[in-house]
Amino acid sequence: MIGAPKSVRARLTLWYLGALALVLFAYAALVYILMRGQLGAELDRHLHRDYEIATQALYARPDGEVGWREPQHFHAGARLDTEAMIVERLATLVDGLLLLARADEGRLSPARAPVALDELVADTVALMQPLAEEKRQQIAVRVESGVRAFGDRALLQQVLMNLLDNAVRHCPGDAHITVSTAGVARSAVLEVADDGPGIPMADRERVFDCFFRVDAARTRDERSGGFGLGLAIVRALVAAQGGRIALADTERGTRFSIALQRA
């Protein structure tokens, strides 16, 4: 609202974000109803938690009562940050669930064209490098020139971004992450490895399951952490392009290996 006091504009923005968060919650709940047989109580827990955070951010007052805050108690910045976080989380959840639903029904329809893996890696690492630098991590690139794979470039980039995001999130500061490519017979291989804490043997078989997180209480904050959909989405996107992904055996850290048809 042009010319309105800052407090009024902040309130309007806050309530807009709050309303959007609740709309996204309703949308995610609808997806949940449609997919309940597959995802069960774990999705219910995520939706219930984010709904509580969203409504508390809108209506909670410092004195513990519920209702409109008086101006002297209004802290727009903190509340706007909270609502923006909830909107982003719920949008991510909805996008992820819809993508997995389309993959399960075979409706992704990826393009099939030769993709230069060295160019894909260079572009994606450039996008993810700032996140790694925030944690003083290093991303090294070791690519074999001229290796191309049949696939959908946009989806392959999403796969690589998800794997790099997973490595950055779970590895400590000063960790080393490596992205490599190679041509092996009729396959084009793309790997993401790190020297972080790794994944316990007991959890390895479930690492690609929806909502599965390795020791979630230790590695992620419940409010800011992910939903545990990233690797499930990676597997779905790779499979939709006729590829395979595996968690390789390593003495230290984690290494994901993707094999695609070589172009």
pLDDT in tens, 106-139: 877 888 999 999 999 999 999 999 999 999 999 9
Q: What is the average pLDDT score of the chain? A: 75
pLDDT in tens, 68-102: 344 444 444 555 555 556 556 666 666 777 777 77
pLDDT band at 200 (very low <50, low <70, confident <90, very high): confident
According to DSSP H, which parts of the chain are helical? 6-59, 76-104, 117-134, 153-170, 216-219, 230-240
Q: Kindly provide the b/e burial profile for residues 145-181, where b requires at least 16 CB atoms within 10 angstroms of the residue's own CB.
A: eebbbbbbbebbbbbbbbbbebbbebbeeebbbbbbb
Q: Which of 64-73, 92-101, 156-165, 222-231 has the lowest mean pLDDT?
A: 64-73
> What pTM does this model have?
0.68
In this predicted structure, the answer to whether residue 235 has a pLDDT above a threshold of 80 is: yes
Half-sphere exposure of 122 toward its Cβ, with a 13 Å CA cutoff?
A: 8
Question: Per CATH, is 113-261 categorized as 3.30.565.10?
Answer: yes
| 245 vs 102: which has the higher pLDDT | 245
Domain boundaries, given as residue ranges, for the chain:
6-104, 113-261
